[in-house]
Amino acid sequence: MKPPAISAIQEIELNIDPGTEIDPWPRYGLAAKYKPFILNRVKLFLQNNGHLNRNEVITDAIRITWEASQKFKQELGYDFSTYLRHLLPNRLYDLYGIEKSKKDEEEPDILKTEPLQFRGGGNGARLVLDTGVLSVGVRVTGNYLTGTLERLRDNTAVIPRDHEDAQAYLRAIVDHTERREREAQAEAEDGGVVLLEALDLQADIRLFKDNRLFRFKPR
């Protein structure tokens, strides 16, 4: 006796791998760009709410991020992570009907949870300028660190923090400042005018609406 025929639909269903999962992350846009940041915020949220399903929380976090991206005003000059930092966990608490405890409301210092990145400058020394409303991280080679830092203290105050291209201008200022320090030292040694090329130091620029040093004073 012949076994019963399998319909086309049944055959398709049998060929589906039950272990296959669809990656919910968008490939483009702010949600894709800020994936590590979003996962970090979700991790902190789940540490205090471990009974929730991680995949469901991530899916909701992606949706909240997309909604936030539609309202984000890049022309104000702030990084999207600044806008999302409080909004994302607050929306998750509201979504799951969880009341925030005092511990949940304690915001860690962002420069400890998300340290400055030192991408350029080869193996140079790390330079950090932190005014409370502006943090700069960059690598500087040679003996130019101290002079560059002193120049940056004055030069970075030129650009208003709410300028739409503030971060781009500040990166250019960092490159220019390091070049001027190299030129100044070369002129002091050799005499005359020295003109050098600026290096692409890829400075990490963080802008803050409020002075973070008032909350996180160094100890």
Rounded CA separation 166/159 (Å): 6
Lowest mean pLDDT among 16-20, 57-61, 164-168: 16-20
Q: Which helix (H) or strand (E) holds 175?
A: helix 166-190
User: Could you report the per-residue pLDDT of 33-45, keeping only the tens digit for each?
Assistant: 888 889 988 988 8
pLDDT score at 164: 72
More confident residue, 29 or 110: 29
More confident residue, 82 or 56: 56
pLDDT score at 8: 46
Kindly tell me if the per-residue pLDDT of 100 is higher than 60. Answer: yes
User: Could you report the per-residue pLDDT of 150-174, keeping only the tens digit for each?
Assistant: 898 888 877 776 777 788 889 899 9
Kindly tell me if the per-residue pLDDT of 2 is higher than 60. Answer: no
- 57 in Cβ contact with 88 (< 8 Å): no
The amino acid occupying position 31 is A
Highest mean pLDDT pick, 47-61, 72-86, 109-123, 144-158: 47-61
Kindly tell me if the per-residue pLDDT of 50 is higher than 60. Answer: yes
Report the pLDDT averaged over residues 45-60.
Answer: 91
Rounded CA separation 125/62 (Å): 37
Residue with tokens 């210092």: 109
Q: Which residues does 189 contact at the CB level (< 8 Å), separation at least 6?
A: none
